[in-house]
Structures are given as C-alpha cells and as structure tokens.
Structure 1
Amino acid sequence: MDDDLISFAPEAEDGARLRAAFGRFGTGVTVITTQTETGPLGMTANSFSSVSLDPPLVLWSAALRSKRHDAFARAQHFCIHILGEDQGPLALHFAGQGHDFSGFDWHPGPDGAPTLSGVLATFHCDTHAVHPAGDHSIILGRIRHAAQRRGDGAGLLFDRGRFGTFAPQSGQ
C-alpha cells in the first residue's frame, strides 16, 4: 500500500473528503445554455464528456440541488460551450446565476439555445436522454451542430477548486 495515500470509505456525511478526492482530477470547463419560457438560461459545468462519434453523443451532469436543474432536465435543446483560458469570469458568472446574459455577446443558435461568442467550441444538442444518478442527473445530448474557433487556443481547466491552463511547451 502507498503510504502517501489517505484511505477512506465514502459515507454521506463525509462528502467533503470525497469531493476533495474528485477534485484531484482536472477537467475542462463548459457553460451549458438553453432557452426557457422566461428567457435564456446558463450553467457552468465541468462534468462534460464525449460519449460517441456514431451517433454523435455527449453527456454532462446537473446537480439535483441546483435551481437550474429542472429547466435543463426538461429542455429539448441545449448548447455546450468549451471555454478558453481567458474565460474564467464567464465560468464564475454562470456558476453563480444563470439568467443574466447582459454583458455577454450571444445569439440564438440553430435550435434556439443561446450561443456565447468567443468560446473555443460549441455543440448544439437535442436532449437524447436524462438518467437519474444519485444526487445528479446525467443529461445525454445528440449533437446536431458543432463549431470550433479557428487557430490555437488553450482551454480553461479546473483543478482542486482553481481555474488554470497548461503551460505552453517549450518551442511553441
């Protein structure tokens, strides 16, 4: 056994230790958007993952405790935005609240979901399935339209509660 590891059996009342262990897995950062009856809605998520190329499927997870969960679980369409290294303020904004799109350049996408400008990539999806998964819902989307920014651009990363990016390799 590795003496540097802190071992524990996850219990419901020990969520902080489990969250800290999960936080050791650095991820990319996304903002998910949809159009609701009351207007555009956004949510920051780092639970995004590609699933399949044929058919083109992606997934992300929404916490049941989120006030935005039900709107996304019911949405027919949504857009996933892959954020660039300079878009930490955008991620923080939509982590805190989701109805205020003022100050952000956006337009309706092909299915009506808000499309934020300046991101690295977008995936406009139809909701393919929503699966209960503990204290989250797994939302599976079928990509109907995708786009990516021309040229290089580092993605915004989230690791142990902090935003960051990869350092450029020497010679780049």
Structure 2
Amino acid sequence: MDDRQFRNVMGKFATGVTVVATQVDGKVHGMTANAFMSVSLNPKLIVVSIAEKASMLEKIKQSKSFSVNILAADQQELSMIFAGQLKEHREVQFDWLGGIPVLHGSLAQITCEVSASHVEGDHTLFIGKVKEINIVDSEPLIYFSGKYRKLAEE
C-alpha cells in the first residue's frame, strides 16, 4: 500500500478536532490534531500524537505540559489557523486553566503534565496526566474524509 492509500483509509474514521497548546518562554504555541484519545480513568491520562517534523514536538518537550482543546462546531477557522491552512495572521484568544493556555470558547479544555513520551514511527506519543478540565454544552467540530463536518440532527 502507498502513503496516500493509507491516509485515505485513516480518513474514513470520523474524529473530533482538537488544538494542542503549550507555552514556552512566555509565548503560546498551538497545532491542530485529531490524534487524541483517553488512556486511563485511574489515573486520568490522555495521549496526543505529534509528528517528529512538527515544531510543536520540541515545545511540548520543553514545557512538559500542554492542553487539548476540543473544538466546537463554530471553531473551524481556529482549526485551520493552527493547521497552517490560513496564511494571513489572525489574533487568537487564549484563556488559562491551571497555568496552561487553553483556547477560548472550545467545547472542552483538558490541561496536562507530560507523564511519559514514546517515539513510534514518525510520531511521538505524549501521555498527559490530566490536571484540570473544563466543559461547555455545545456541538463538536467533526473531521471525516478530508472535510470538516457537523453533527446532524436526528
């Protein structure tokens, strides 16, 4: 199988859309990611997968903390900003939860300390020990087959 075929198959798994954020030297950094999942309830652990070529990799290694911001249906533009799909500069508002930057208005915010990291293939898996969470009642932004989607009403 070639890389494109593999990517197409993986794209058939509908996911939520997140922005992973951290702070290094007083500056907030973020990237769009859909490779995120919960790992454990006790202790509360999550995992994010960051490409070895992503600048965010070194930022998380330096800060040893990060947030995962689950985007709401009206936050597609934020996903595009942090995925590098919008080239013009846009101001992004961050809030703070437990001293870690979180995206204003996101559906859910999870702040973590890195408890472990594992290099697998061309990615590093960061296991995050959950420190604080925040959730609002809203609809999620969905990504499926290379396109942003919204949940349909039944």
Same fold, TM-score > 0.5, yes or no: yes
8 Å contact from structure 2 (residues 23, 59) kept in 1: no
Structure-1 residue corresponding to 2:49: 61
Instruction: Tell me if structure 1 keeps the 8 A contact 2:21–2:67.
Output: yes
Q: Percent identity?
A: 34
SS in 1 for 2:83: helix
Distance (whole Å) between structure 2 residues aligned to residue 117 and residue 24 of structure 1: 29
- Report whether the alignment pairs 1:109 with 2:97: yes
| Deviation (angstroms), 1:166 | 1.5
Q: TM-score, normalised by structure 1?
A: 0.82
| Greater Rg by CA | 1
Q: Is the 8 A contact 1:73 1:139 kept in 2?
A: no
Q: Aligned partner of 1:156: which letter?
A: L
Could you tell me which amino acid in structure 2 is paired with residue 166 of structure 1? Answer: L
- Equivalent residue number for residue 32 of structure 2: 44
Work out whether residues 40 and 101 of structure 1, in 8 Å CA contact, stay in contact via their aligned partners in 2.
Answer: no
Q: Give the Cα separation in 1 of the matches to 2:112 and 2:16.
A: 19
Which letter does structure 1 place at the counterpart of 2:95?
H
RMSD of Structure 2 on Structure 1 (CA): 1.8
SS of 1:73's equivalent? helix
Matched residue, 1:20: 8
Q: Return the TM-score normalized by structure 2.
A: 0.92
Structure 1 unaligned blocks of 5 or more: 1-9
Q: Deviations over 1:108-160 (max 9, x none)?
A: 321x32121111110010101110010100111010100101x3x21111111
Q: How many residues of Structure 1 are paired with residues of Structure 2 in the alignment?
A: 152
Contact 1:105–1:117 (CA under 8 A) maintained in structure 2? yes
Distance 1:22 1:102 in 2: 30
- C-alpha distance 102-89 of structure 1, shift in aligned 2 (>3 A): closer
Q: What corresponds to 1:3 in structure 2?
A: none
Cα deviation, residue 102, structure 1: 5.3
Asked if 1:96 is matched to 2:84, the reply is yes
SS at match of 2:91: coil
**Corresponding letter in the other structure for 1:26:** A
2:146 paired with 1:161: yes
